[in-house]
Amino acid sequence: MSMLNLKTGVRQKGFTLIEMSIVLVIIGLIIGGILKGQEIIESSRQKNLVTQVDATRAAVNTFVDRYGSLPGDYTFNARLSANAAVTAGNGNGVVGAAVATAALVGSTDTSGAGENNQFFVHMAAAKLIDGVTIVAAPPAATFGEGSPLPAVAIPGAGNSLVYGLYNTSNEPRSAHWLRIHKTANGSPTAALSPRQAYELDRKVDDGLPAEGVWRSGQDAANCGQAAGAAYTFLDENVLCTMVTDLIQ
């Protein structure tokens, strides 16, 4: 064998076990860092969502103190704005028409017009919330700028308001519910996975999908909306909406 062949053989020597172990450790650290980063991002989104909901509650309290009425139900719209998109409510103490449980947690949406839509419009006109646009009705899929419905920290999702009886649990509750979902005008569509919904519910309420002030708002099986059910918290498919009582 020539010296050239001997040198070539030396150059083709593979990795040692120690070198391969170091490479695997580095790869593991990178993957672990990515997963931890995703966990931090998700936790931050949930905290921001709760902060946004709390800010809406605070704005509602301020509106009631200032005008003696719930936003959306307020009859003297001209005191808020001369904008024709700001319309009067009927002053009956309920924002929109009361809906049954099936409409509250199912697919029927009442947020696209009337008092439900004006709930956010009135607060925006009173300069108590921002990040929304005063228009008569929301575009089909838009929250935030360009829509009267506010966006939330969950990508593509936002808030609407519905009043009704949540009666699929041992704790029936009639309330004004802030609903977290996608599809701004039309049937609300899922915005969270059962895992996200469970983590959010567990952090701010009782972790039970059909009880407390945070509840599952979707009747998909893994979202645990039925009485006595639980979130399928290992499911990461986007299946769920959520509702939370406006007045705690």
- Does residue 173 form part of some domain? yes
CA angle 171, 173, 179 (to 5 degrees): 115
Highest-confidence range of 68-72, 131-135, 139-143, by mean pLDDT?
68-72
Q: Strand 158-166 and strand 173-181: pairing?
A: antiparallel
pLDDT tens digits, one per residue of 97-109: 888 777 676 655 5
- Does residue 171 form part of some domain? yes
State the Rg of the chain over Cα.
25
Taking the C-alpha atoms of residue 45 and residue 72, their distance in angstroms, rounded to an integer, is 28
pLDDT tens digits, one per residue of 13-28: 666 777 777 777 777 6
Average pLDDT over residues 145-174: 90
Dihedral in degrees, nearest 10, Cα atoms 217, 218, 224, 228: 60
- Does residue 114 form part of some domain? yes
pLDDT tens digits, one per residue of 118-134: 999 999 999 999 999 99
Taking the C-alpha atoms of residue 166 and residue 212, their distance in angstroms, rounded to an integer, is 11
- The pLDDT value given to residue 5: 53
- Does residue 41 form part of some domain? no
More confident of the two residues 26 and 232: 232
Taking the C-alpha atoms of residue 247 and residue 63, their distance in angstroms, rounded to an integer, is 13
- The pLDDT value given to residue 221: 83
Contacts of 61 (CB under 8 A, 6+ apart): none
- The pLDDT value given to residue 220: 78
Average pLDDT taken over every residue of the chain: 84
How many other CB atoms are there within 10 angstroms of residue 29's CB atom? Answer: 10
Share of the chain above pLDDT 70, in %: 83
Taking the C-alpha atoms of residue 11 and residue 9, their distance in angstroms, rounded to an integer, is 5
- Does residue 8 form part of some domain? no
Which domain does 72 fall in, by range?
A: 49-245
Q: 32: buried, middle or exposed (CB in 10 Å: 19+, 13-18, 0-12)?
A: exposed
Q: Residue length, the chain?
A: 248
Tokens of 111: 């947020």
Share of the chain above pLDDT 90, in %: 53
- Does residue 10 form part of some domain? no
- The pLDDT value given to residue 45: 84
- The pLDDT value given to residue 79: 96
Taking the C-alpha atoms of residue 201 and residue 194, their distance in angstroms, rounded to an integer, is 10
pLDDT above 70 for 8: no
Domain count of the fold of the chain: 1
pLDDT tens digits, one per residue of 26-59: 776 676 666 656 666 677 888 999 999 999 999 9
| 3-state secondary structure at position 179 | strand
Dihedral in degrees, nearest 10, Cα atoms 109, 112, 113, 118: 110
- Does residue 17 form part of some domain? no
- Does residue 193 form part of some domain? yes
pLDDT above 80 for 201: yes
How many other CB atoms are there within 10 angstroms of residue 142's CB atom? Answer: 19
How many other CB atoms are there within 10 angstroms of residue 2's CB atom? Answer: 7
